[in-house]
Amino acid sequence: MEFNSNSAFLYIIVGIVIAFVLLQSVVFFVKAWRRGKELGMDMKALKKTVGTSAVFTIAPAFAILLGVIALSNALGFPLPWLRLTVIGSLTYEATAAAAAANAVGSSLAERITDPTIFSTIAWVMAIGIIPGLVLVPALGKKIEKGISNLESKDSKWGKIFLSGLFMGMISAFLGLVFAKVHIGLVGWIPVFVMFASALLMLICGLVRKLFNAKWIEDYALPISLLGGMALSIPITNLVMSLVG
């Protein structure tokens, strides 16, 4: 069989897996929606959750699409499409593919035409992400019990504990923003973008208070994310012109 990384065969098997995962999202959505109704939750708030989550997702989704395009030069479209729609993340997939190509004496600089090399890359990318899929069903219940024990013992501390966990994640990624500062002014660009986005978030809060505009609160995160991304363009241009 002549190998082609954009073959109809690959599109079909990848399409099946993506359809399966899409179905899972729909099933879980319906289940949670029904439970929300049973619990007597405010359905308007749940509808708002759907709206804000959808709007918030758009920009990151296009960034992920850009990752598919980047990998498609070497791997065709179906495999990167699968790997970035299901489980994958931008940083992981590119590294895993490059490492696998490297291990069999190839590289991602050009189109992979050898099916053996292609399947090696596919195996490495798939095996590399096994832990989450095995550990969530194995340990999920225990972790959840641990948290609910914590909360039943001391509910105030349980809440603080979870906030601490959030803060761990947020502080690690905010720290990451400073990782390029050592290269000079250009390395400060992410820091400036972070402050721009933070400022937009503060302005959203201010507008909410001054004009009693409750809607803005719901869309504050997507507004600040998109605004921060948009401002990164003039910020980058300005820094580049200063650096010369």
Partner 1 sequence: MKKEMSYRDSIHKMGRVWILSALAMLLAVPAAICIYYQAWPPMSGILKGLLSIVPIFWTVGVIEVFTYVPMLGTGGSYLGFVTGNLANLKVPCALNSMDRAGVQAGTEEGEVVSTIAIATSSIVTTVIIAAGVLLLSQIAPVLESPVLQPAFENILPALFGALGVVFISKDWKIAIAPLVVMIALFLLVPSLASAVGILVPVGALISIGVARILYKKNLL
* Binding positions for partner 1, 91-130, rule CB under 8 A: 92, 95-96, 99-104, 114-124, 126-130
Closest by alpha carbon to 51, among 161, 215, 240?
A: 215
Shortest Å, Cβ 203 to partner 1: 10
Place of tokens 């601490």: 164
DSSP letter assigned to residue 212: -
CB atoms under 10 Å from CB of 122, counted, come to 18
Q: Helices (H), strands (E): how many in the chain?
A: 10, 0
Residue 75 engages partner 1 in binding (rule: CB under 8 A): no
Residue 213 engages partner 1 in binding (rule: CB under 8 A): no
Cβ-based neighbours of 133, under 8 Å, separated by 6 or more: 87
Residue 202 engages partner 1 in binding (rule: CB under 8 A): yes
Residue 66 engages partner 1 in binding (rule: CB under 8 A): yes
By beta-carbon proximity to partner 1, the closer residue of 48 and 244 is 48
Residue 162 engages partner 1 in binding (rule: CB under 8 A): yes
Shortest Å, Cβ 186 to partner 1: 11
Closest by alpha carbon to 104, among 121, 80, 92, 83?
A: 121
Shortest Å, Cβ 211 to partner 1: 18
Residue 217 engages partner 1 in binding (rule: CB under 8 A): yes
Residue 43 engages partner 1 in binding (rule: CB under 8 A): no
By beta-carbon proximity to partner 1, the closer residue of 74 and 118 is 118
Tell which one of 71, 94, 108, 235 touches partner 1 (CB under 8 A).
235
Residue 228 engages partner 1 in binding (rule: CB under 8 A): yes
133 vs 4, 77, 128, 130, 145, CA distance in Å?
30, 24, 11, 5, 19
